[in-house]
Amino acid sequence: MPSKISLSQQVAENLTGLRLDQVAVELFPGYSRGRLQRWIKQGELTVDGKCVKPSSRVVGGEKLRIEAQMIFEGEVEPQDIPLDILFSDDHLLVLNKPAGLVVHPAAGNWDGTLQNALLNYDSELDTLPRSGIVHRLDKDTSGVMVVARSLKAHASLVKQLQTRSMSRIYEAVVKGEIPPAGTISAAIDRNPRDRKKMAVIKSGRAAISHYKLMQHLPGTSHVEVALESGRTHQIRVHMTHIAYPIVGDMIYGRGPIKQKGLPASAIKVINGFPRQALHARKLRLIHPESGDECEYSAPLADDISGLIETLKQALADA
């Protein structure tokens, strides 16, 4: 049965000049750009009560409203892919995503994704946008994620993401000896020279990350990072911006480490780590049904734990 979607958001001044479909993705992150474009064309997503084109530019202050029927479109097939479930009830599904698993189908990864796995785990998710996925982790980032299992939960989680009442804490191993703590406030947007990458750009979207040193290791630092915003590749871009790129990050990592005086074992494990050493450890949110504050954690991935232990041993052997 189709489900009724009724949502509204006001366009912030910092989005002035953007296309309507771009703004809709920002304000309604639980829905794909393609779906939002269809709703705009069908008059189910309006601007101040009027039907406009997806390419129309916003001026700021407009009210976007969605009044639509969510119908399963059969775009993603269920696939039997194991899931590490941390918590489940009628409204939420919290899981520990492994590195290497893409969150939802896209160019180059049309199946074998988390979304395929979710539909196999619970076929009722086919009535929800993106099968209940409201946020994402990069393919090679591991850790805790939450998925909505009801429309009420979906609306609540999307709102919590927008108002930043949902908080996320990550762990990472970065190159270099980072200071004890700091805040990175640097706007992020698409890299104008490579649209597949993100970059710190003054005219981009506001992004704030707070980091805290957990321990110094040979040639590296084990850090905790808390987000105030959720931009694409935010931690990876921010850490590179302050010259402490994440170990194993092939896109933003600035090549192999060549620090003099490091044990050979440390250099080998740092340069040979096969993915960005980034893990979503903790997620805090308000339960959409009970209103209780909830906290969910995913233990540090084995490969990152192994990296840290190897570096500790290299330090002990030095």
pLDDT for the residue numbered 158: 87
Reported as a single tens digit per residue, the pLDDT across 256-315 is: 887 778 888 899 999 999 999 999 999 999 999 999 999 999 999 999 999 999 999 988
pLDDT at 3 over 70: no
Residue 96, pLDDT score: 98
Cα 147 to Cα 76, 91, 246: the distances in Å are 16, 9, 27
CATH annotation of 3-70? 3.10.290.10
As a whole number, mean pLDDT of residues 75-81 equals 88
* Confidence (pLDDT) at 233: 95
Average of per-residue pLDDT across 218-226: 96
85-161 CATH fold: Pseudouridine synthase (3.30.2350)
pLDDT confidence band for 1 (50 / 70 / 90): very low
φ and ψ of 255, to 5 deg:
80, 180
> What's the pLDDT at 33?
79
What is the pLDDT averaged over residues 47-66? Answer: 93
| pLDDT at residue 235 tops 60 | yes
Q: Where in the chain is the domain with CATH 3.30.2350.10?
A: 85-161, 169-280+302-317
Q: Summarize the confidence of residues 187-214 as an average pLDDT.
A: 91
* Confidence (pLDDT) at 74: 54
Q: Taking all residues of the chain, what is their mean pLDDT, rounded to a whole number?
A: 91
pLDDT in tens, 81-134: 999 999 999 999 999 999 999 998 877 778 899 999 999 999 999 888 889 999
**So what's the pLDDT on residue 312?**
93
| 9-12, Cβ contacts within 8 angstroms, sequence gap of 24 or more | 9/63, 9/64, 9/162, 10/61, 10/62, 10/63, 10/64, 11/58, 11/60, 11/61, 11/62, 11/63, 11/64, 12/60
Catalytic choice (21, 90, 126, 138): 138
CATH topology of domain 169-280+302-317: Pseudouridine synthase (3.30.2350)
pTM as predicted: 0.80
The residue with greater pLDDT, 2 or 153, is 153
Domain with CATH 3.10.290.10 in the chain: 3-70
Q: What is the mean pLDDT of residues 223-239?
A: 94
Provide mean pLDDT across the span 43-48: 93
Is residue 189 among the annotated active site residues? no
CA-CA-CA-CA torsion sign (180, 186, 192, 195): positive
pLDDT value of residue 187: 94
